Amino acid sequence: MTPFPLALQDLLGHWNAYIVYLLIGFAFGYVLEISGFADSRVLAAQFYFKDLTVLKVMFGAIITAMVLLFLSSGLGLLDYNLVWVNPTYLWPGIVGGLLMGVGFIVGGFCPGTSLVSAAVFKIDGIFFALGVFFGVFLFGESVGFFEGFWHSSYMGRFTLMEWLNLPTGVIVLLIVLMALFMFWGGEKLEAIFGGRNLANEPRWRYGAAGVLVLAAVAVIVIGQPSTADRWEMIENVEAARLQNREVQIHPAELLVISRDPSLNVIMLDIRSEADYNLFHILEAQHIPTLEKLSDMIPALLEEPANTVYVVMSNDETLATEAWKILRAESVPTSYLLEGGVNNWIDTFADETFKETQFKSISGTDQLAYNFSAALGSRYEFSQPDPARFDIVFTPKVELEIKRGPSGGGCG
Amino acid sequence: MTTLTTSKSTKSNGFYKRLQSLIKRQAKPYVHPYLGGILLGIVLFSAFFFTGNGLGASGGINRLIVLIEDAIYPAHIDRTAYLATMAGGDRNPLDSWVVFVTVGLMIGGFTSGLLNGRLNVTTNRGPQMPKKLRWVYAFIGGAAMGYGARLARGCTSGQALSGGAVLSVGSWAFMFAVFGGAYALAYFVRKFWN
C-alpha cells in the first residue's frame, strides 16, 4: 500500500489531526507574506504588466507542486487516487472565475491574500476581507435561487490527462514548458512596462528551470502505476483476505445492508447484457466489462464515506477480478457477492421456480437458471422482503475510514 | 537594517525594547518571486502529500460566516440546504480542515510580518486613489471575490492553485477565467492603481 497520504484521523485522532492543517496553513501564510502578497499594489501590478510577481509565484508553485506530486506518485509513495482533485463544474467555475477576476482588479486581493494582508495590519486588506465575508454571506443566502445552475455542467473528477488523452508525464512536461514560456514572456513585458533591468535577475533561475524540466522528463520515464502495479503493492494483504473469504458476503447480508438507510450501497453487476436483462437484483448497476469498471473508478471514489461497494457476477470468477480492480484503485469498503447471482437466486427464489428453471451449466460465470422473459428486476426475488427470510450469516461488512481527502478547500 | 544588538546593552526594560525593536525594525525586501513560487509549491505539495487535501482559504471564511449565522438564527440554517450541509442540526461548522488552514494562514502571515518588519498600519493604494475610496473599492472587490469564490467552489488557493497542480480541467478553466476577468477590466480601472 502506498504510504501517503496519511490516515491522519486514524493516527492522531479527530481534532488533533487538524494541528497538521494548522501547520500547513502557517507555512502557506508565511510564504504568501514573504512573496509580497500582503501588498495590493504588488498584486494589481500583474494586470498592467509592470510586475508579474503573481504569475511567477502562482505558476512557480503549481509546477513545483505538480512535478513533486507526480514523481512521488510514479515512485509509489503517494496515491493519486486519494488526492483531492477539484471536481469540474465547468460553467459555474467559469462564471465564478470571471466575477473573481473583477473582484481581483477592483479590490486588489484574493480571499487568501486579503487575510494575510489583514494579519499584517493593512487596512485595505481588512476592508477586502470584510467584503469577502459579505460576499460569502450573500452567496449562502442567494444560491437557493439558482441551485440548478450551480450544480450544472458537472463532470466529476476530470483531469487534463483524460481530457487530452495523453500520458500524465507528457501533460506535466507540457505544463512546465508552458509556465517557463510565460515566465520568459513575462520578464520581457516587465522590462517594457515596468522598466525592470533583466541583467539584475538571478542566474539561478535558469538552473531551477532546468531542474523542473528534467524532473518532468523523469515523470514521463517513470510513468504512473497501472492497476496491475497497484494490485502488486497490496497483494500480500488483499490476496489473503480473498483466500480467507473475508470479502465474500452472503446474499442475506447484502439484502440487509441494502435496506440500511445509514449506508449507501452500490451494487455493480458485471455480467453480459443478456444475463442482466434476464434477471438482476433491484438497483444493481450494469457494468458490461472490467474496462468499463476501470473507467468508473474516479466516479466511485467520489461517493461518500458511508458507501459500501458490492460487485457480482453469475458466480465469483469475474466478480473477484472486479474486486481486485476496486481494491487496487483504493476504493474503500468493497466486497463481492458470495456465490454470485446464482447463489442469490438460490437463496431467495421460491422452490417451484428453482425446481422448474434450474439448468445444469458447464464452465464458469454462467447463469444457472432459465428465464422465460427478460424481466430484469421485476421478479419477486429481485427485491425480496427481508422479513420473510430468517437466514443466519456471518456479517463481514465493515466501513473503512477514508484515507486522504475529505473535500476541497471550498467546502 | 536594524538588529537586536542595540537592545542587548540595556539592562532594564530589555524585553520591552526588544519587542519594540522587533516591531519597528526596517522592512526587509520581499523574496524573489521565483523563490516564493518554489517555496509555495513545496508547501502545496506537502499538503497533498501528507493529507491528500490542497490549500484553501475561502472555505474557512465561509464556515466562520455560517457559525455566526447559526448562533443568531439556527432555524434559517437548518432550512437552507446549502447552509445545512455545514451547520445543520448539531453539526459544527468549524469541524473542517480548511478552517484550520485558514487560521494557520493568518498566524503565518502575521509571524512573517513581525519577523521581517512589515507589520504596519497602512493602506496600500494607487497614487491617485484617495484612502477612503480605496477602502470602499476593497470592500466591493472583496464582496465580488467572496461571491465568485463560492459560485466557483473555491478561490485562488482552493481552485486555481490546488486544482491546477493536480491537473483538474475545471480548475484550469477557472484560472483562465480569473485572469481573463481581471485583464478585461484592468484598462477601465487603471486610475485605481496607476
- Judging contacts by C-beta atoms under 8 Å, the chain A residues touching residue B65 are 133, 136-137, 140
In whole angstroms, what is the distance from residue A192 CA to residue A189 CA? Answer: 5
Residue B1 in any domain: the answer is no
Residue B2 in any domain: the answer is no
pTM listed for this prediction: 0.88
Residue B25 in any domain: the answer is no
Residue B49 in any domain: the answer is yes
CATH fold for the domain made of A228-388: Oxidized Rhodanese; domain 1 (3.40.250)
Domain boundary among B80, B105, B120: B120
Residues B66 and B139 in one domain: no
Residue B76 in any domain: the answer is yes
CA A150 → CA A92, A198, B172, distances in Å? 6, 45, 18
**Helix or strand or coil: residue A295?**
helix
Q: Given an 8 Å threshold on Cβ–Cβ distance, is B165 in contact with A158? A: no
Residues B114 and B147 in one domain: no
Please answer whether residues B81 and A142 qualify as being in contact, where contact means their C-beta atoms are separated by less than 8 angstroms. Answer: no
Q: Which DSSP category does A363 fall into?
A: S
Residues B169 and B102 in one domain: no
Using a 10 angstrom Cβ sphere, with 0-12 exposed, 13-18 middle and 19 or more buried, the burial of residue A12 is: middle
In chain A, whose CA is at the least distance from the CA of B185?
A: A102
Q: Given an 8 Å threshold on Cβ–Cβ distance, is A119 in contact with B174? A: no
> Which of B17-46 are b and which e, b meaning 16 or more Cβ less than 10 Å from the residue's Cβ?
beeebeeebeeeebbbbbbbbbbbbbbbbb
Tens of pLDDT along chain A (411 residues) come to: 678 888 887 788 888 889 999 999 999 999 999 999 999 999 999 999 999 999 999 999 999 999 999 999 999 999 999 899 998 999 999 999 999 999 999 999 999 999 999 999 999 999 999 999 999 889 988 988 998 999 999 988 899 999 999 999 999 999 999 999 999 999 999 999 988 888 889 999 999 999 999 999 999 999 999 999 999 989 988 999 999 999 999 999 999 999 999 999 999 999 999 999 999 999 999 999 999 999 999 888 888 888 999 999 999 999 999 999 999 998 989 999 999 999 999 999 988 888 888 888 888 889 999 888 888 888 889 999 888 888 888 889 988 876 666 554 443
What residues does A312 pair with on adjacent strands? A269
Residues B97 and B61 in one domain: yes
Residues B50 and B109 in one domain: yes
- Max Cα-Cα span within chain B: 64
- Judging contacts by C-beta atoms under 8 Å, the chain A residues touching residue B81 are 144, 147
How many C-beta neighbours within 10 Å does residue A181 have? 10
Residues B99 and B135 in one domain: no
ipTM above 0.90, yes or no: no
In chain B, whose CA is at the least distance from the CA of A58?
A: B37
Residue B186 in any domain: the answer is yes
Domain boundary among B102, B120, B138: B120
Q: How many domains does chain B have?
A: 2
Residues B108 and B133 in one domain: no
Please answer whether residues A36 and A51 qualify as being in contact, where contact means their C-beta atoms are separated by less than 8 angstroms. Answer: no
Residues B89 and B141 in one domain: no
Domain boundary among B101, B120, B139: B120
Residues B44 and B81 in one domain: yes
- Judging contacts by C-beta atoms under 8 Å, the chain A residues touching residue B50 are 4-6, 8, 20, 24
For residue B11, the distance in angstroms to the closest alpha carbon of chain A comes to: 30
Residues B136 and B65 in one domain: no
Domain range holding B164?
124-194
Please answer whether residues B138 and B145 qualify as being in contact, where contact means their C-beta atoms are separated by less than 8 angstroms. Answer: no
- CATH 3.40.250.10 in chain A is located at 228-388
